[in-house]
Amino acid sequence: MKLLVTAPPISQLQAPATWRTVDLISDLHLQANEPATFAAWQSYMTQTPADAVLILGDLFEVWVGDDAVPSSPFLQSCTQVLQGAGERLHLGIMHGNRDFLMGTTFLNSCHAHFLPDPTLLTLGASSWLLSHGDALCTEDVEYQAFRQQVRSPAWIDSFINKPLAERQALARGLRAESESRKEGAVSYADADTALCLAWLAQTTSRQLIHGHTHQPANHVLAQAGVNPMERIVLSDWDLQAHPPRAQVLRLSAGGQHQRIDLT
């Protein structure tokens, strides 16, 4: 039996009139042992012509706390990439299910803006509802219960106050479990249509964009008049996969969107 998850308060991001394009990416799962994905991301972040890059969660494979950066050359390299981007364009980062412990200390050091989940982006005359997407997968009852537990202030406070080495050991255990699930070809729950429509009903948007499921596609949620209600799923990034995956969804002030394949 799936859990009933109500929509949290929806934040607003009004694009300045000077913005012409906004890029959306998610689920890069950056980690030191996947250098090809990091290299593709680094190249993209330094070259994108977009006025803003919004990262809709799971930028990192795991995040155990902002205090892990000083002792990690890989995280320091990621910080430098983000700093460079944040200095020349609007950089927004949303929490995912892997990196929800990312804090303001790290974001501020990268010149990045925290992007609440969900956020309604208004660009020109168009609007899009943005989310990481994990809260929409209500049929995954076990995960939703886990999510409620680890997102509680008490759990977060308890975890962050553990020694860094202990947090890193716990993270390694979770990663090993995740890899085991991948090898077992586990099928993951998709976003719940009724809940997606309920979220959109609270906004002026007809399009919900999210990541998390690693199943990039466009879905018609409801056909009402000329413009349908749509759910647009972002691609994950994995340059070591066969075939490799790395997509950007570019939104334009004219209301159009296009997928850009970087592979």
**10-61 pLDDT tens trace:** 999 999 999 999 999 999 999 999 999 999 999 999 999 999 999 999 999 9
Full residue range of the structural domain in which residue 96 is found: 11-261
How many separate domains does the chain show? Answer: 1
**Distance from C-alpha of 95 to C-alpha of 105, rounded to nearest angstrom:** 14
**Is 22 a domain residue?**
yes
**Is 76 a domain residue?**
yes
**Is 2 a domain residue?**
no
**Is 1 a domain residue?**
no
Strand order in the sheet with 119-123: 11-14, 119-123, 126-131, 207-210, 229-233, 217-222
Contacts of 175 (CB under 8 A, 6+ apart): 61, 62
Q: What is the pTM of this model?
A: 0.94
β-pairing, 207-210 vs 126-131, is parallel
**Distance from C-alpha of 201 to C-alpha of 14, rounded to nearest angstrom:** 19
**Is 130 a domain residue?**
yes
**Is 63 a domain residue?**
yes
pLDDT tens sequence across 69-120: 999 999 999 999 999 999 999 999 999 999 999 999 999 999 999 999 999 9
* CATH, residue 145: 3.60.21.10
**Distance from C-alpha of 242 to C-alpha of 93, rounded to nearest angstrom:** 28
**Is 3 a domain residue?**
no
**Is 240 a domain residue?**
yes
State the pLDDT at residue 180. Answer: 64
